A and B are shown apart, each in its own frame.
Chain A
Amino acid sequence: MVRFWEGSGRQSVIRYAKPTTVDEALALLGEDRWRILAGGTDFYPAQGAKPFRDNILDINGLAALRGVEETDEYWRIGARTTWTDVVRHPLPAAFDALKAAAREVGSVQIQNVASVAGNLCNASPAADGVPALLTLDADVELRSAKAVRHLPLGDFILGNRRTALQPGEMVTAIRVPRRSATGASAFVKLGARRYLVISIAMAAARLVVEDGVIADAAIAVGSCSAVARRLAGVEAALRDQPVAAALADAVLAAPIDELSPIADVRGSAEYRQDAAREIVVRAVRAAAGLGEGKVAA
């Protein structure tokens, strides 16, 4: 059932709707322009003290969109799944980086309501969840009343605060292919204080090790480009390397040309470039089981 409130102000009408099924939500999205309200942790700060002037589609009634499920081909993270849900759900070791990132999203208070999908839709260069999801080859499920489509995460986030979301669409799930949910992973966040901190840089690493040799490597860095990026050169340099202290050297020698860090209040561009490589080393070492867990402040 759609619960519906419509205000009739003098100039125009603001609609509010809190549907309880995805189909109802999609039907509404098809008939009007809406701002979607999910966890609220980006919605309210963006609103500040300004009055509401947009139609608001509150998706917090969509029970079907919350939770993690396993299908034959995918791990499927419903769009309303919170970071706390991710932390608490039993998942393969490949998701350890995502779980570690989940614990660094804002604070416990934020993690309890903020959704994984919201982190993607907000499209901040410093979105904590993106590097780990990139290393998991995640894709984004977009639905409208008319169609369903899936975009690789790297094609969904287009730039700083820009996504491929079309009018009438909403994100309904993030999918991780089972073939990518293998190996072990780690996440390193670099910030200027311990909690509640926007990353200066962050790195996620997922390694598949077979017989002591790296069979596959997925490495991503966030906060050092408009959108978090996979590091193909580092991944290539790590493949077929034995798990040993020399992994660090492989990372240090690998080409990294995906990053284009900016200078801001959190650090200079040069610093980000340097630090990114260093935290990739540490994420790789941690994923390889070579010690060094969380290192940065």
Chain B
Amino acid sequence: MSMERSEIAFEINGATVSVSVPPVRRLSQVLRDELRLTGTKVGCDAGDCGACTVLVDGNPVCACLVPAASVTGASVTTVEGLGNGRLSALQASFLEHGAAQCGICTPGLLVAATALLERNPTPSETETQDALGGVLCRCTGYRKIVDAVMQASRHMNGVDLRLPQVGRAVGASPIRLDGVPKVTGGEKFGGDSFPADALSVLVVRSPHYHAGFSLGDLEAWTEAHPGIAGVFTAADIPGKNCFGVIGPFADQPALAEGFVRLRGEAVALVAGEREAILDLDLTDFPITWTELPHVLQPREAKAEGAALIHSHRPANLLTSGYVERGDPEGALAGAAVTASGSIETSFVEHAYIEPEAGYAYMDGDTLVVVACTQAPYMDRDDTAKVLGLSVDKVRIVPTATGGGFGSKLDVSLQPLIGLVAMKTGRPAALAYTRNESMMSTTKRHPAEMKATIGTDAEGRVSGMIFEGDFNTGAYASWGPTVANRVPVHASGPYATPNYRATGYAIHTNGPIAGAFRGFGVPQATIMQETLYDELAGKLGIDRLDFRLKNCLRDGCETVTGQRLESGVGIGECLEQLQPHWARALAEAAAFNAIHGASKRGVGVASCWYGCGNTSLPNPSTIKVGISASGEVILHQGAVDIGQGSNTVISQICADALGLPLDKFRLKSADTAITPDAGKTSASRQTFVTGKAAEKAGRALREKVLRFANVSGEAMIALEGSSLSIREGDAARRIDLSELKADADGLVFVAEETYDPPTLPLDAKGQGKPYAVYGYGAQIAELEVDLKLGTVKLLKIIAAHDVGKAINPVLVEGQIEGGIAQGIGMALMEEYIPGRTENLHDYLIPTIGDVPPVEHILVEVPDPEGPFGAKGLGEHVLIPTAPAILNAIRHATGVLVTKVPATPSRILAAIREKEARR
């Protein structure tokens, strides 16, 4: 039952084209599917994200909302048309400012900004924000985008790649090595390279939180729908229909078997020709649902007699984590001052602008899955398990990944498209809609926490007790990691001699809560840091001084009894903030002296975060070689989801090897060609894979030097296909093309593995969970409208100890992006299943919601990290929300105990305080 096609002729990037499509087909689909111009991205299909922004006759529009018929005779410009054979000034400016991270929103931003710059080459900050307010970015925090647009007119002469000299890569800020395709539209994300003959796949999902279901006559239904190649259900799964990121806790079916535990759970796959699937109405799909009672709140789920979501998990407790040190009750009983409180947080959606997408095909007897991901080897193992294949018969080819933030660690569509490819022998492609991405993939755990902290009369923290319930949803995912990480980190980076912290991961029929930038630590830090403000108030000590008095220093022991010999940078972070703190407090006081209807506040909070897995093996392997043609071939397996590992790992390797960055060619994290560098999570890539890259670079250098029979002092250089080696006055030249190359074309090759030295935690959580920690502290300055409860952020000052900033511009990008997510968590983000499953009801910060960010890079070298570097990807988000809540309390006198602190909640808290007077 389709609509007839029409010939629609228009101009695209200066060329005349004609397509034959139904006249109401979305322009975004026409561009991507008919013209294969995949630079125009689809993030929501509803005008909520702006990723598909194109110009129609010079005006920016969302291509997802424009019927093909409307561009008849019009001139359409996409990102591919901005460059005119070379990068436009704006594209060059984006690269030089580091304004593109993952790159998925970049085309929309570039197109929208191009329209602005056409009429206003030197826009103000407000003009820039007004023009770009309709494009969401989840990685950058927008500040570098604003700068890049405002200063575009200065970048008329192409791009300066800022390639460092040999031996100077670490600490330099070359533009991202994978940057150019991100600004030209050439980058291929999960949905950008579907084979033309691929079957399209639709997933039938549960509309209920908890329900039984029975399937009707699938064969008859398939027969009745031409173009449908097949329907696949749990009965078709050849392997073990049970996956999960942590083996012992694996509990999730790829396709549900008879009943579902959450809304959005997959129950069947429909595969068919693309046009048939586009025209398929699933309302007559033969399935009968029987709704069952469900629980969405942990307090209901753990109540006595509550139905078990997994029969083998009593009280719906997935697992718990525990750390105990000293005598916490005794310490609190003897404390001069104590503060107690409780905090509640909400589900937070990752909201990467790229919904999950990929395709699968059979290459002989090997299943190949080409998709966006954060963890190719884990995808391989889980896909193989579900599909009954040996792991060497599954190949994962990661595409560029348009943001992940933790959710793309879990498999999503991989086993689904793999099943279709296996069963049909045809390539199978699937791009999740925004709605199904939000319904079916993981979230940040909502937490219900309570804690008490006590100090002595001088203000030294003597004890803390923390307990938190974390709503882990219907399946395990990374719930155990959250339950374990929280007790280890809930003290914050402060010496806490007597301590008990317990974290419970509790099942509900809510969305699956998994990994999200910080694994529960951002939630726990809100609890601890808001109590620290209360303690400082009771003690009459300045809030920053109170933190300085208690922060961990070299030689301190953590709450797990780990002695930190060196590299503890939290003290320096807080000290660096002192002048800003004094300035901000003075400015707020001056403002408040003359304003009544709105009040300013200043807040501070810290973070610490262990890099890598908690007390578990966590190796990365890096392979690097020199080719016969004189290039350095780096098998860079640390998936770059926008954070910059392609660049950072190369910088580390370049300096370890002693060859310049411009000789590096990267091989992707394809599991068939590149060793496992582990998952992109836990702020581990710069540290763990970076260390492996350092070791591999040094090993390769050693091989070359040994071959040339020179000492470690020698300089090496690549000149064409020869390698020159100099030591003192002696020089020699090796013709690489004459050496025997291996199957990969490499004449020298090294492969090294690094696994961080950790020790298990005992029954009381004592041990050495991490080899490296990173630290940071942030100040939030803001203004609260006392009559509306709205918050206007004025500035964030962020001091982060990264050990060594391998690439300072990328570090700044991480800081600004983490802060933006922290702002969202603090002020607006609240995922409610069944209610906010789109990007207009679920709010993430726009370009107008992130204030100026001042970054202070603190470099206290870590003895273990490569060149002293520590991780930072998650650290940067952790202090933001508690700093904002503390600033709101400073401004208003009230602590909002449930985040997000929406205007409604802030005003309610203010009114409640007024009523108490």
A residues apposed to B, CB below 8 Å = 5-12, 14, 16, 18, 37, 39-41, 43-45, 48-53, 56, 58, 60, 84, 103, 106-110, 112-113, 190, 192-198, 200, 265-268, 270-271, 274-275, 278-279, 295-297
**Residues in chain A near residue B129, CB distance under 8 A:** 194-195
Does chain A have a CB within 8 A of B464? no
Question: Which of A43, A56, A193 lies in contact with B848, CB distance below 8 A?
Answer: A193
Q: Contact between B281 and A51 (Cβ–Cβ < 8 Å)?
A: yes
Q: Contact at B47–A16, with CB atoms within 8 Å?
A: no
Q: Looking at the complex, which one of B4, B50, B281 makes contact with A6 (CB distance below 8 Å)? A: B4
Whether B903 contacts A265 by the Cβ 8 Å rule is no
Interface residues on B, range: 35 or more
- Structural contact, A108 and B2, CB atoms closer than 8 A: no
Could you say which of B24, B60, B904 contacts A16, with CB atoms under 8 Å apart? B24
Q: How far is the CB of A280 from chain B (nearest CB, A)?
A: 12
> What are 18 A-B contacts with C-beta separation under 8 Å?
A5-B4, A44-B26, A44-B46, A44-B47, A110-B134, A113-B61, A113-B66, A190-B788, A192-B827, A192-B903, A195-B134, A195-B848, A196-B846, A265-B835, A265-B841, A266-B902, A266-B904, A268-B908
Task: Bits for B895-917, please: 1 = Cβ < 8 Å to A, else 0.
Answer: 00000001110011001000000
Contact A37 B24 (CB under 8 A): yes
State whether A14 touches B830 (Cβ < 8 A).
no
- Distance between A271 CB and nearest chain B CB, rounded to angstroms: 4
Inter-chain CA distance A198–B48, complex, in Å, is: 11
A52 partner residues in chain B, CB cutoff 8 A: 2-3, 22, 24
Does A5 lie within 8 Å of B6, measured CB to CB?
yes
Whole-angstrom distance between the alpha carbons of A45 and B48 in the complex? 9
Return chain A residues, CB-CB under 8 Å to B911. Answer: 274
Q: In whole angstroms, what is the CA distance A265 to B346 when docked?
A: 12
B278 at the interface (CB under 8 A from A): yes
CB distance from A262 to the nearest CB of B (A): 12
Q: Which residue of A lies closest to B24 (CB)?
A: A56
Known A-B contacts: A51-B278, A192-B827, A297-B849. Give 11 more (CB < 8 A).
A5-B4, A7-B3, A8-B4, A48-B435, A51-B279, A58-B23, A109-B47, A196-B136, A197-B846, A198-B841, A267-B904
Bound: A194/B791 CA distance, A: 11
Cβ contact within 8 Å between B849 and A193? yes
Cα(A49)–Cα(B837), bound, Å = 14
**Interchain residue pairs A-B with the least CB separation, the first 10:** A107-B134, A194-B848, A195-B133, A9-B1, A267-B904, A45-B46, A271-B904, A195-B846, A7-B3, A7-B4
What chain A residues lie within 8 Å of B47 (beta carbons)?
41, 44-45, 106-107, 109-110
A81 to B524, CA, bound (A): 51
Whether the pair B908, A108 counts as a contact (CB closer than 8 A) is: no
Query: A44 contacts B22, CB within 8 Å?
Result: no
Q: How far is the CA of A296 from the CA of B849 in the complex (A)?
A: 12
Q: Is there an interface contact between B67 and A60, defined as CB atoms closer than 8 Å?
A: yes
| Known contacts A37-B24, A190-B790, A109 near B53 by CB under 8 Å | yes
User: Are the CB atoms of A49 and B433 closer together than 8 Å?
Assistant: yes
Contact residues, B881-907 vs A (CB, 8 A): 902-904, 907
Which partner residue on chain A sits nearest B26 by CB separation? A44
A84 and B112 alpha carbons, distance in the complex (Å): 15
Interface residue B545 (Cβ < 8 Å from any Cβ of A)? no
Let me know if B846 and A12 touch, CB within 8 A: no
Q: Tell me the minimal C-beta distance from A71 to chain B in angstroms.
A: 28
A124 to chain B, nearest CB (A): 11
Whether the pair A5, B23 counts as a contact (CB closer than 8 A) is yes
**Whose C-beta in chain A lies nearest to the C-beta of B435?**
A48
Task: Tell me the smallest distance from the CB of A136 to a CB of chain B, in Å.
Answer: 25
Interface residues of B in 15-52 (CB under 8 A from A): 22-24, 26, 45-48, 50
Complex CA gap A193/B846 in Å reads: 7
Query: Is B339 interfacial (CB-CB < 8 Å)?
Result: no
Contact A108 B133 (CB under 8 A): yes
Residues of the A chain whose Cβ atoms lie less than 8 Å from the Cβ of B785: 295-296
Judge whether B163 is part of the interface by a CB distance below 8 angstroms: no
Do residues A265 and B830 form an inter-chain contact, with CB atoms below 8 A? yes
Is the pair A109, B134 in contact by a Cβ cutoff of 8 Å?
yes
Q: Is the Cβ of A278 less than 8 Å from the Cβ of B788? A: yes
Whether B788 pairs with A279 at a CB distance below 8 angstroms is: yes
Q: Is the Cβ of B1 less than 8 Å from the Cβ of A12? A: yes
A270 to B908, Cβ gap below 8 A?
A: yes
Contact between A275 and B788 (Cβ–Cβ < 8 Å)?
yes
Query: Looking at the complex, which one of A10, A109, A200, A270 makes contact with B61 (CB distance below 8 Å)?
Result: A109
Which residues of chain A are near B134, meaning CB under 8 Å? Answer: 106-110, 195-196
Residue of A nearest to B900 (CB): A192
* A195–B845 CA distance with the chains assembled, in angstroms: 9
In the complex, chain B residues whose CB is within 8 Å of the CB of A266? 902, 904
Contacts of B180 in A (CB 8 A): none
Find out whether the CB atom of B3 lies under 8 angstroms from the CB atom of A108: no
Docked CA distance A108–B47 (Å): 11
Complex Cα distance, B46 from A61, in Å, reads 23
Across-interface contacts of A56 in B (CB, < 8 A): 3, 24
B846 near A18: Cβ-Cβ < 8 Å: no
Question: CA A40 – CA B785 in complex, angstroms?
Answer: 36
- Do A267 and B61 form a contact, CB below 8 Å, given A14-B3, A44-B26? no
**Quick check: is B725 within 8 A (CB to CB) of the other chain?**
no
Chain A residue nearest in CB terms to B842:
A265
Most chain A Cβ neighbours within 10 Å, of B433, B788, B849: B788
How many angstroms between the C-alpha atoms of A58 and B131 in the bound complex? 28
CB-CB < 8 A to B281: which residues of A? 50-51, 53
State whether A40 touches B433 (Cβ < 8 A): no
Q: How far is the CA of A130 from the CA of B64 in the complex (A)?
A: 25
B70 lies within 8 A of chain A by Cβ: yes
The answer to whether B843 touches A192 (Cβ under 8 A) is: yes
Does the CB pair A200–B904 fall under 8 Å? yes
Within the complex, the shortest CB–CB distance from B142 to chain A, in Å, comes to 11
Does B474 lie at the interface of the complex (its beta carbon under 8 Å from any beta carbon of A)?
no
* Closest Cβ–Cβ distance, residue A36 to chain B (whole Å): 12
Restricting to B55-104, which residues have a CB under 8 Å from any CB of A?
59-62, 64-67, 69-70
Residues of B within 8 A of A107 (CB): 47, 50, 133-135
Tell me, yes or no, whether B703 is within 8 Å of chain A by CB: no
| B130-158 with Cβ < 8 A to chain A | 130-131, 133-136
Q: Give chain B nearest CB distance to A260 CB in angstroms.
A: 17
What's the minimum C-beta distance from A37 to chain B, rounded to whole angstroms? 6
A41 CB contacts on chain B under 8 angstroms: 47, 62, 65
For A275, list chain B residues within 8 Å (CB): 787-789, 903, 907
Q: How far is the CB of B912 from chain A (nearest CB, A)?
A: 11
Residue from A11, A103, A196 with most neighbouring chain B CB atoms (10 Å): A196
- Contact residues in B for A265 (Cβ distance below 8 Å): 830, 832, 835-836, 841
Cβ of B564 within 8 Å of any chain A Cβ, yes or no, is no
Residue of A107, A265, A268 with most partner-chain B CB within 10 A: A107
CA distance A196 to B828 in the complex (A): 13
User: Who on chain A is nearest to B840 by CB?
Assistant: A198
- Nearest CB of chain A from residue B8's CB, rounded to whole Å: 11
A50, A60, A267: which contacts B903 (Cβ < 8 A)? A267
In angstroms, Cα B788 to Cα A271, docked, is: 8
Distance between A220 CB and nearest chain B CB, rounded to angstroms: 18
Q: How far is the CB of B131 from the nearest CB of chain A, in Å?
A: 6
Q: Which B residues from 815 to 837 make CB contacts under 8 A with A?
A: 827-828, 830, 832, 835-836
Residues of A close to B790: CB separation below 8 A: 190, 296-297
B280 within 8 Å of A by Cβ?
yes
Q: Which chain A residues lie closer than 8 Å to B904 at the CB level? A: 200, 266-268, 271
Which partner residue on chain A sits nearest B282 by CB separation?
A: A50
A194→B846 contact, CB < 8 A: yes
> Which residue of the partner chain B has the closest CB to A84?
B59
Residues on the B chain within 8 Å of A18, using CB: 23, 69
Q: Which residue of B lies closest to A51 (CB)?
A: B279
- Any chain A CB within 8 A of the CB of B521? no
A58 surroundings in chain B (CB, below 8 A): 23-24, 67, 69-70
CB within 8 Å of A: which B274-307 residues: 278-281
Report yes or no: A109 in contact with B62, Cβ–Cβ below 8 A: yes
Q: Which residues of B contact A195 (CB under 8 A)?
A: 129, 133-134, 846-849
User: Given the complex of chains A and B, what is the CA–CA distance between A179 and B733 in angstroms?
Assistant: 91
